[in-house]
């Protein structure tokens, strides 16, 4: 494992922990898109089904279990524990416009036409756009809490580091995965405006807002 994948994993874990701590400490999920969190739960579930069929390493299995558990814990907090604080009026992105095309693409473009491979491919494609409901929600409300922007920053950093990981693996291991790279590029592009606003506003103590 190279340093870029490790730091990418740690950034991803940091994002998840920041989000869970934000919800638990404030006893509120205001400003958090439940739809994005459901999509992430679907991403991890469909991607890590190989937990049932293969063992790669303790680290690999542990991280997969943590991601799945945290994803469903987040969904539980939003839709059950702190349901009264969930802002469903602004979380209105039509997720079917993401899930259906992504599902169709996974059937058409994959490495191998087998159930596990199609589901893995589906998870890669879906993760690249799963943050859209959250960004859409911020654009509707006009701003985001600072802690929410930290969550989004580390989530975007994780994808950017994974892109570097794929480049590293291509040059030093001869490994090339077009599906993962293209999906990673798409996801990183979606974060570009956010990264700019994060650096120019949030890091200077100002509130972040996205254009409606």
DSSP letter string over 73-138? HHHHIIIIITGGG--TTT----THHHHHHHHHHHHHS-SSSSHHHHHHHHHHHHHHHTTHHHHHHH
Q: How confident is the model at residue 212, as a pLDDT?
A: 53
Give the pLDDT confidence score for residue 184 in this predicted structure: 84
pLDDT value at residue 145:
81
Instruction: Give every residue of the chain whose pLDDT is below 50, as ranges.
Output: none
pLDDT in tens, 44-74: 999 999 998 888 899 999 999 999 999 999 9
pLDDT score recorded for residue 64: 95
Torsional class of 205: left (φ above 0), alpha (ψ -120 to 50), beta (otherwise): left
Q: What is the pLDDT at residue 133?
A: 95
The pair of three-digit structure tokens given for residue 180, joined into one six-digit string = 């993962």
CA dihedral 43, 26, 66, 185 (to 10 degrees): 40
What pLDDT does 174 receive?
Answer: 85
State residue 211's pLDDT score.
Answer: 56
Task: Judge contact between 177 and 166, C-beta under 8 A.
Answer: yes
């Amino acid at each position: 494992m190279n340093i870029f994948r490790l730091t990418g994993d740690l950034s991803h874990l940091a994002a998840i922990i920041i989000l869970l701590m934000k919800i638990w400490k404030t006893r509120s999920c205001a400003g958090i898109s439940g739809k994005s969190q459901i999509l992430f739960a679907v991403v991890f579930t469909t991607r890590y089904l190989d937990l049932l069929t293969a063992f790669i390493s303790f680290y690999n299995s542990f991280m997969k279990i943590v991601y799945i558990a945290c994803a469903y814990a987040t969904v539980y907090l939003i839709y059950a524990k702190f349901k009264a604080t969930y802002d469903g009026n602004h979380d209105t992105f039509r997720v079917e416009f993401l899930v259906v095309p992504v599902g169709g693409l996974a059937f058409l473009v994959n490495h191998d036409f087998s159930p596990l491979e199609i589901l893995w491919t589906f998870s890669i494609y879906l993760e690249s756009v799963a943050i859209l409901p959250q960004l859409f929600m911020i654009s509707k409300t006009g701003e985001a809490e600072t802690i929410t922007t930290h969550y989004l920053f580390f989530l975007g950093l994780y994808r950017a580091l994974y892109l570097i990981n794929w480049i590293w693996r291509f040059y030093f291991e001869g490994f090339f995965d077009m599906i993962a790279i293209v999906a990673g590029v798409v996801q990183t592009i979606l974060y570009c405006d956010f990264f700019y606003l994060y650096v120019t506003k949030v890091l200077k103590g100002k509130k972040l807002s996205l254009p409606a």
